[in-house]
Structure formats: C-alpha cells, structure tokens
Amino acid sequence: MEVIELSWWQLSLAASLILVLALLAQSAQLGVSRQLLVAALRTILQLALIGLILEVLFSLGSLLWVSLMAITMLLLAGREIIARQQRRFKGAWGYTLATLSLFLSSFSLAILTLLLLVGPTPWYTPQYAIPLLGMLLGNTMTGVALALERLTEQAWQQRAIIENRLMLGQHWSEALGPVRREAMRAGLLPSINAMAAAGIISLPGMMTGQILAGTPPALAVKYQILIMLMITLGTGLGSLIAVLLGSRRLFDQRQRLRLDRLNSR
C-alpha cells in the first residue's frame, strides 16, 4: 500500500487551525494562547529538525552517532523533568536524580528490548533504536516528573504531620510512607490508564503510524503491545527509583526533614 505524501500547504492548514484555537482561547480569556502558540511552534521546529537529523543518522548507521543521539535524548529528558517541578531539589542533585532514574529504567530497558526482544541486526540499527528509546524516555519522563512533583509538594504540605511522626519515634521511611506511596501511584497512573484504554477507546500512536505506513495490522499490534508493556515497566521503575532517591534526600543523617533542600515557589 502506497503511503500518501503530505505537502507543506496541508501542514500549514493544520497550523492555521491551531491559530484559530489560540484566538478562541484569547477571546475566552483562558490565558493559554501564548503557551499554545509557543508549544505549536516548538513542535514544528523540533520535529522538522529531528527529521533532518534522523535522515542523516539513518544513512550513517554508526554506533557512535546512535550513542551520541541516545545520550543527548537522555540528558534533555532529565532536564525536562526538573523544569516541570514546582519545588525542585537545589543544585545539581535534582538533575542527577532525574537523569539517573531515566537511565536505570527506560534507557536500560530500551537496550534490553533491542538485544533480546526485537533483535535487529545490528542491534543499534537507528530505525529501531531511536524511535524505541524516544517512546520509552518520553513516557517515563512524564511519569517521573509526576512522581517527583507529588513527592515534594505533599512533603511540603504535610511537613507538620511528618515531623510529628518523627517525634513519635517513626523511622523517616515510615513517616514519609503515605507520601511516597501516593507519589509512586501518581507516576504509574497515566500508563495504567493508557493500557486500559488501548484498543477500545483509543488506537495508540505507534500502531496508528505503522498502519498508515502500510504495516499489516497484526504486526503493528504486536509491536504496540511490546512497546506499551515496556513503557509501563520503564515508568514504574523510573518512578520507583526517583521517589526512593528523592525521599532519602528530604532527610539528613539524623532523620530530620530537610525541606530547605528544595527551592520554594
């Protein structure tokens, strides 16, 4: 089946509809028109740029360039997690925590999936490695950001309760237990909802793209199942690691709650 080519004027028409939406939001005084236009512009520029980069990367097929691309994606994803936090950890600690959580979860799972489950030859084939890593990093990034946001915000709001538990002799992990569980739940919930709705309420993006590109639906479904399972695993592991490391950072060696390690709003 031949893939239908999209022209730039068709994309321009779609972009003009976003402009109409921004005008409607402005007339309704929603206060999001500027953010909407900036986000749309970033989408166009970033995707156009990554398209050019991927064309070069696919033609080279070198492990060195694939590795550099993957590391760049990892570092930028860690930065995005910290940028989304209202109360972030001070200094480089927060960025290190976010990036390490992604590396130990989605980044490692992407390599495992390429080596053991998908098995392209060579295993770092960019047509497989970069899209797979991008999907895992993007979804895990969202889960980790939500988990850390819930952890720090709830610790701030419940600081009196946590300190009272500490004074009653509870260990720091026990005193923070309800907050940690809520944070981990917040990180996992989007992936759980996505899996529950897949195929019934929505057709996932990867599967839709493959079908539009002419891939047989049965094969597209297999890839989508694999990706969604790996995304959920990566999000769960990333949220767990981030919350555990972040929780320990909130307390010192004497088990005192140290909210001064967070930037206030």
Alpha-carbon span 206 to 211, nearest angstrom: 9
User: Is a pLDDT exceeding 90 seen at residue 85?
Assistant: no
Residue 140, pLDDT score: 93
pLDDT band at 1 (very low <50, low <70, confident <90, very high): low
- The whole-number average pLDDT for the span 243-254 is 90
> DSSP state, 8?
H
- Reference 131, options 222, 212, 57; nearest CA is 57
**How distant, in Å, are the alpha carbons of 128, 183, 255 from that of 238?**
22, 12, 25
Positive or negative, the CA dihedral 232, 151, 82, 97 is negative
pLDDT band at 46 (very low <50, low <70, confident <90, very high): confident
Cβ(257)–Cβ(161) under 8 Å? Answer: no
Residue 203, pLDDT score: 67
Which tens digit of pLDDT belongs to each residue from 22-36?
Answer: 999 999 888 888 899
Cβ(140)–Cβ(102) under 8 Å? Answer: yes
Report percent pLDDT > 70 for the chain.
96
Cβ(192)–Cβ(160) under 8 Å? Answer: no
Where are the domains positioned within the chain? 1-60, 63-261
Cβ(111)–Cβ(66) under 8 Å? Answer: no
Residue 264, pLDDT score: 67
Greatest Cα pair distance in the chain: 69
Which residues fall within 8 angstroms of residue 152, CB to CB, at 6 or more apart? 85, 86, 87, 88, 89, 246, 250, 262
Report percent pLDDT > 90 for the chain.
38
pLDDT band at 98 (very low <50, low <70, confident <90, very high): very high
Alpha-carbon span 128 to 123, nearest angstrom: 8
What pTM did the predictor assign?
0.83
Residue 83, pLDDT score: 85
User: Is a pLDDT exceeding 90 seen at residue 53?
Assistant: no
Cβ(242)–Cβ(101) under 8 Å? Answer: yes
- The whole-number average pLDDT for the span 113-132 is 90
Cβ(224)–Cβ(206) under 8 Å? Answer: yes
Alpha-carbon span 172 to 86, nearest angstrom: 23
- The whole-number average pLDDT for the span 224-231 is 88
Which tens digit of pLDDT belongs to each residue from 132-170?
Answer: 999 999 999 999 999 999 999 999 988 899 888 888 888
DSSP element (H, E) containing 14 = helix 8-27
User: Is a pLDDT exceeding 90 seen at residue 239?
Assistant: yes
pLDDT greater at residue 210 or residue 225: 225
pLDDT band at 2 (very low <50, low <70, confident <90, very high): low
262 backbone dihedrals φ, ψ, rounded to 5°: -110, 145
pLDDT band at 115 (very low <50, low <70, confident <90, very high): very high
User: Is a pLDDT exceeding 80 seen at residue 21?
Assistant: yes
User: Is a pLDDT exceeding 60 seen at residue 230?
Assistant: yes
